[in-house]
Structure 1
Amino acid sequence: MTVRAVQVIAGADVIAYHSARHGRSIARSIAAEHLRADHIEEALIYPVTTESTDHPGGYRGALDEFYESAAARLAVHLDAGRTVAVISEGDPLFYGSYQHMHKRLAHRYPTEVIPGVTSVSAAAARLGKPLAEADEVLTILPGTLPEEELTARLASTDTAVVMKLGRTFPTVRRAMERSGRLPEAHYVERATMTGERTEKLADIDAETVPYFSVSVVPSRIADLPPGTATSTETATTTETATETATAGEPSGHGEVVVVGTGPAGPLWLTPESRGALAAAEDLVGYTTYLDRVPLRPGQRRHASDNKVESERAELALDLARRGRKVAVVSGGDPGIFAMATAVLEVACQAPYRAIPVRVLPGVTAANAAAARAGAPLGHDYAVISLSDRLKPWEVIAERLHAAAGADLALALYNPGSRSRTWQVGKARELLLEHRAPDTPVILARDIGGPEESVRTVHLADLDPHQVDMRTLLIVGSSQTQAARRDDGTQVVWTPRRYPEG
């Protein structure tokens, strides 16, 4: 208890506390030595806790009625001029019962909230493990969340505390395991109180877990081996990094995870990808994509040019052979014109076939651009790269003819660059053989980035000079519609229903 809390209890006329129907209150037991015989005690006993109820308003209705009644009881004392101290374990406004009184009374009577020590802080102290360090993000979760939500949140954060275990423990444990955090997770029961218990979460019997227990996934930085650099090491060339990775004999299998960062920035990262990037010991990728990933102490970065995909893949797999956890960072979705193919090609060769490789999906540029424009890919569509660096133009032209002839909407990747300036014009000519001149074409540039722009033009008016490597083109089908709404925005969509023949 804080000094201020003890002072307030000493000066109060009424001591109020919540409890279940058994009448025992943890808050009262904590404050017991400071209570006087002349204190008026108000035990606010919940009508239900986790069991069902026949209240006409259901569980929520029963609790709302209880809170109104409890607030009315305290208001009687306040109207009589008495000072009321509502005691609450932990902090009153952190998942505390007092907050329901606060909502009903604080606007009517002078109120002071005394902050307390939360179970989060107490658990970390008892474990002797820092919760968060440097730029790590701490996430506090109620165990009552659905398992899928818990899994996603645990995967995406640096450190975490899960509250309200008890009956939720089996769900929380599965979420820890599915998110890959179970080896890091600790269990703390009744921190700082009689009956305190701390163990690894994986060793806990679910039948023994009370409600007043938490799970802690502490700081990863704090667990780094002594002497580990706290600043990120960077290898600026693939050759230098490869020398580092292959020095000495392989020391066991690590893992390679190919991660898609989306079109740009952290808003496009999935929780699973965010978690994989945080857990990696080594990051391998094109410099531009690595720059999107937050710096983390202890991680090593191996940056390289955009034209050495096979070398990057071999580097990542060599690192994994030495027992490292490696994330290969890719833009967009790693399986769409990106690094997943390169990694898997090398991973299927000796001596890499035994190394675990996972591919995590990302938001691909076509979907991001389509969302900005409306829903131009709402029906069947094809995805084609206009780059002839890895395949001849004759193949591209044949595929454009086939997709356009099938009346598919088209997402065109890699339409142009400084060294490729004629492909967009040629593609427009081919498409006009199958599409009307007023077919909507979306020019989506730098989606998610600082220079984002989205424009819609007619196919006949598509100007190749307005297209560069950071632009993605979406060409509508014969059914694609474009309209301007009352707020001045233009939307493009392709109906899901196709007209009957």
Structure 2
Amino acid sequence: MSGRLYGVGVGPGDPELVTVKAARLISGAPVIAYHSARHGRSVARSVAEPYLRAGQIEEQLVYPVTTESTSHPGGYQGALDEFYTSVAERLAVHLDAGRDVVVLAEGDPFFYGSYMHLHKRLAPRYEAVVVPGVTSVSGASAALGRPLVERDEVLTVLPGTLPTPSLADRLAGDDPAVVMKLGRTFGSVRSALETAGRLDEAWYVERATTGAERVAPLGDVDPSSVPYFSMAMLPSRLSPGLPAAAVPAAPVVSPSGEVVVVGLGPGGRDRQTPESLAALASADELVGYGPYLDRVPANPRQRRHASDNRVEAERAAFALDLALKGSRVAVVSSGDPGVFAMAAAVLEVAEDPRWADVPVRVVPGLTAAQAVASRVGAPLGHDFCVISLSDRLKPFEVITARLDAAAAADFVIAIYNPASKSRRHQIEAAKELLLTRRAPETPVVIGRDVGGPEETVRVVTLGELDVSEVDMRTLLIVGSSRTRATPHGVFTPRRY
């Protein structure tokens, strides 16, 4: 017997606005499916989370495109059609096996919802039940605190993606209206309201019913601050004593400030984790070394604060101060922030009592050592250690003692910060020291700018290593006595 498909509306954002029926179905379903963009975050899942239980199968349906362009031969619509067909077949596997599937939908499943595209493909084959949810329009109207439509008025709901002249024509007149899907369309919607002569009565509602809810006269809103989950509202004119200009805006309720130290990985966006992308997307302020900040696409909503690479403590204090004032701050770091990077600096500075109430969390990233190793095989396949040759923060005598101990213990050694324009003697001394413990034939991986536009990776022997080729953008992996260079790649056996 086939399973049953449920399209379940979870409301506009507040988990307490999930219906009793929706909560029961979410808790009882063997399979929970939800949509997300490539960053991995799902609003619907976050709303439904209190009702999920351990052991449920989760199917994350990641859109191939959202607002960006695509090379798909069928264009944007072709890419989405192919996506919906493929995920419908993924869910059909569960339904054919007799497992019920709940597809979560923000608001109501049939009100501008993605669920409807799965319903069209699966309802002809399986029993399908749609569970309505509180719409974002209802949530926004409640947040605004005044009637949306009364008596014989006609409510018009419009997508902000319509052309500006079409929006202006439909907004002309006296009846109430709602324009959804703002974000990048906000400028066009504002122009349409102005053309229709209704900008002064328009209200802006953002993330209604959530902790980040914001209500303001639309004409006062900064376009760069507008997310997708917001709408423009023209409420009823038939509320005596409640002219639009007299309705107080709901207070801004912002999440408390925090500092998130985010690992960007060793290269482009494809080497970032969904968690790091989500942390960057939700930040108000971005703080970091200039070249690392340049790797984060500019967003006019966010403020960027670049600084020199040698002021880690000052950068950390600056970020903590911003968070103390209520900002969500992302401190960016190349690779993994906990490996010779900003996480330790932020946590060390945060010990000061003045920042005792500022939350600090760390979002990991792919390390340079992992990236370089992957290019040649598995040189880190057995015990290894990681050492920085920079003596800016520790004496070189400490570095050589640790390097000698690691070499004597026969660790594979990943060497960070091997040299700079003004600091050459460390790598020269390191090579001499290693040759006292390792054979000249020991494989050495030289990785430079891995993941970047100037990437080069070579495998040489320790004896052949030309230290003049090594700079700050280089990472070295020095093999152990067991490391082998084969036609298939470099690896360190797991067995001794």
* Equivalent residue for 1:258, pick from 244, 257, 261: 261
- Does the alignment pair 1:198 with 2:131? no
Matched, 1:333 2:327: no
Match of 2:307 among 297, 304, 307: 304
2:52 is matched with 170
Where structure 2 has 5 or more consecutive residues not aligned to the other structure, the ranges are 13-28, 60-104, 117-129, 140-179, 187-205, 207-213, 227-253
What corresponds to 2:107 in structure 1? 187
CA RMSD of aligned residues (A): 4.1
User: Match for residue 314 of structure 1?
Assistant: 317
Q: 2:67 — aligned with what?
A: none
The letter of the residue matching 2:52 is P
Deviation of 1:48 (Å): 2.5
Secondary structure at 2:322's aligned position in 1? Answer: helix
SS for the counterpart of 1:303 is: strand
Count residues in correspondence: 319
Instruction: Give the number of the structure with larger relative contact order, counting CA–CA contacts within 8 Å between residues 6 or more apart.
Output: 2
CA distance in 2 between counterparts of 1:346 and 1:333 reads: 19
CA distance in 1, matches of 2:392, 2:48: 59
Match of 2:491 in 1: 493
Q: TM-score, normalised by structure 2?
A: 0.57
Q: Pairwise mapping of residues 241-390 of structure 1 onto structure 2 (< 5 A)? A: 253-390=256-393
8 Å CA contact 2:34, 2:42 repeated in 1: no
In our comparison, the structure showing a higher alpha carbon Rg is 1
Q: CA shift at 1:229, angstroms?
A: 5.1
Cα deviation per residue 1:440-463 (whole Å; 9 max; x = unaligned)?
Answer: 000000000111111011101111
1:160 is displaced (CA, Å) by 6.3
Residue by residue over 1:329-371, the C-alpha shift from the partner in whole angstroms, topping out at 9 and shown as x without a partner, is 1110000000001100111112001111001111110111111
Which amino acid in structure 1 is aligned with residue 221 of structure 2? G
Q: Secondary structure at the match of 2:434?
A: helix
> Where does residue 2 of structure 2 map in the other structure?
48
CA contact (8 A) 1:155 1:275 kept: no
Identity of aligned residues (%): 52
Q: Which runs of 5+ in 1 are unaligned?
A: 1-46, 52-94, 96-118, 128-143, 177-184, 204-216, 233-250, 486-490
Alpha-carbon shift at residue 308 of structure 1 (Å):
1.1
Matched-pair contact (CA < 8 Å) for 1:385–1:415:
yes
Which residue of 2 is the match for residue 228 of structure 1?
222
Relative distance call for 1:349 and 1:294 in structure 2 (3 A) is same
TM-score, normalised to structure 1, is 0.56
Give the drift of 1:482.
Answer: 0.2
Instruction: Provide, for residues 79-98 of structure 1, a one-character-per-residue CA deviation record: whole Å limited to 9, x for no partner.
Output: xxxxxxxxxxxxxxxx9xxx
Measure the CA separation in 2 of the matches of 1:422 and 1:429.
Answer: 11
How many Å separate the matches in 2 of 1:290 and 1:352? 24
What amino acid is aligned across from residue 39 of structure 2 in structure 1?
A: S
State whether residues 293 and 332 of structure 2, in contact with CA within 8 Å, keep that contact through their aligned partners in structure 1: yes
CA distance in 1, matches of 2:2, 2:400: 70
Query: Distance in 2 between the 1:429 and 1:399 partners?
Result: 14
SS of equivalent residue, structure 2 residue 365: coil
Distance 1:319 1:229 in 2: 22
Aligned to 2:199: none
State the Cα distance separating 1:304 from its structure 2 match. 1.0
Q: Judging changes above 3 Å, is the alpha-carbon distance between structure 1 residues 340 and 166 closer, same or farther for their aligned structure 2 residues? A: closer
Runs of 4+ in 1 over 4 A off after TM superposition: 144-147, 157-162, 165-169, 171-176, 192-196, 217-222
Partners of 1:174 and 1:305 in 2: how far apart?
Answer: 46
